[in-house]
Amino acid sequence: SSVSDLMSGLMMLFLLIAIAYMLNVAEGQRKVKRIAVTYQEIQLSLYNDLMNEFKEDLPKWKAHIDQKTLAIQFMEPDILFSLGKAEINERFREILDDFFPRYMAIICSDKFRDSVEEIRIEGHTSSEWGNREVSLDEAYFNNMALSQERTRSVLSYCYHLDSVVEYKNFMRSHITANGLSSSQPILFKDGTENTKLSRRVEFRTRTNADQRIVQILDELQYD
């Protein structure tokens, strides 16, 4: 009858809708899995490779690798620069001679080269300025100039190492020098500034994992 034909047609329509919904959910689950895999492949894999390469050197360099930001932080100010100066100390030159070619070999490997968006050489200072009384504004801008000079010194030194000649094209397009003054201090647990550890240099690796994850989320949104 026409009623049974109508019911059969509706059942078939509901079945097709259910199948389409199940397929869409399955595709969504696959894309969510891609997000996790993308992050793991880029961020965690790079962190693990950096740790495996430098774990024995970090203590003697007074350095640390931040897993969240992939920043290699050189945390001993007396090793880095003389107070108020931008010229690299001899000990830090020796560390850079050892560290930077090995670092670039990892970054420029086939495994990571296409995933690295930027390498930021960051210079950080404490909020203090010398031994004289100055305003907070004056200290901030004096330290801004100093931190910028220091990062340019580090970049210039690393760039002109004979051991990284093969990476120069990549370096020109991916490495930046960033002086951040005292804008990101290291704090004690009570919230006061650790002025010693605030004076540091970081090699921060920015990958394109976030961009790729946003792209996947956009695909999910508009499916």
The pLDDT of residue 10: 59
pTM to 2 decimals?
0.79
pLDDT at 209: 72
The pLDDT value given to residue 220 = 59
Per-residue model confidence (pLDDT) at position 92:
97
pLDDT of residue 68: 86
Residue 18: its pLDDT value, please?
A: 65
Question: How far are the Cα atoms of 152, 176, 196 from residue 102, in angstroms, in the given order?
Answer: 20, 18, 27
Cβ neighbours of residue 200 under 8 Å, at least 6 residues apart? Answer: 73, 74, 75, 77, 80, 124, 186
Alpha-carbon 136 to chain mean position: 29
CA distance 128 to 172: 33
pLDDT tens-digit map of 64-123: 999 988 999 999 999 999 989 999 999 999 999 999 999 999 999 999 999 899 999 999
Where does the chain have alpha helices with state H? 2-39, 45-54, 58-61, 77-80, 90-107, 136-159, 168-174, 195-198, 209-222
Query: What pLDDT does 79 receive?
Result: 94
| pLDDT on residue 25 | 59
Tokens 């340019």 locate to: 152
Residue pLDDT tens, the chain, 223 long = 555 655 565 566 666 666 666 656 566 666 656 666 666 778 889 999 999 999 999 999 999 999 988 999 999 999 999 989 999 999 999 999 999 999 999 999 999 999 899 999 999 999 999 777 889 999 999 999 999 999 999 999 999 999 999 999 999 999 999 999 999 999 999 999 999 999 999 999 998 877 766 666 676 555 5
Return the pLDDT at 199. 95
**pLDDT at position 32:** 58
